[in-house]
Structure 1
Amino acid sequence: MAASPILPMAAHVALCALLYVALTVARAPAVWGLGRRGDGSNPFAALEPRIGANLSNQFEWPLFFHVACVLLLLQGATGPLVIGLAWVFVAGRVLHSAVQVFTGNVRLRGLVFTVNFLAVLALWALLLLP
Structure 2
Amino acid sequence: MDSHYIFFPMLAQIALTLGMYVLLALRKAQALRAKTLKIKEAALDNKAWPDAVVKVSNNIANQFETPVLFYALCLILFTINGVTLLSIALAWIFIALRYMHARIHIGTNHVPKRMRVFVMSCGVLMAMTALAAWQLASLIST
Query: Normalising TM by the smaller chain, what interval?
Result: 0.7 to 0.9
1:68 to 60, 64, 73: 73
Deviation per residue, 1:21-78 (Å, 9 max, x gap): 0011111145xx4xx23xx236x92210000000000001111000000000001111
Q: What is the deviation of 1:102?
A: 0.2
The answer to whether 1:94 aligns with 2:89 is: no
2 CA distance for matches of 1:120 and 1:106? 21
User: Structure 1 vs Structure 2: percent identity of aligned residues?
Assistant: 30
* Residue of structure 2 in register with 1:5 after alignment: 6
* Residue of structure 1 in register with 2:28 after alignment: 27
Q: Is the 8 A contact 2:3 2:78 kept in 1?
A: no
2 CA distance for matches of 1:11 and 1:17? 10
Within 5 Å, which residues of 2 pair with 1:33-112?
33=32, 36-37=33-34, 40-41=35-36, 45-112=50-117
* Residue of structure 1 in register with 2:124 after alignment: 119
Structure 1 or 2: larger helix share? Answer: 2
Gap runs ≥5 in structure 1: none
Q: Which amino acid aligns with 2:110?
A: N
Does the C-alpha gap of structure 1 residues 81 and 112 become closer, same or farther in structure 2, counting only changes over 3 Å? same
RMSD of equivalent CA atoms: 1.8
Q: What is the deviation of 1:80?
A: 0.7
Runs of 4+ off more than 3 Å:
none
SS at match of 1:4: helix
Q: What is the deviation of 1:128?
A: 1.1
* Residue of structure 2 in register with 1:18 after alignment: 19
Larger Rg: 2
Q: Which amino acid aligns with 1:41?
A: T
2 CA distance for matches of 1:116 and 1:95? 10
Q: Is the 8 A contact 1:3 1:83 kept in 2?
A: no
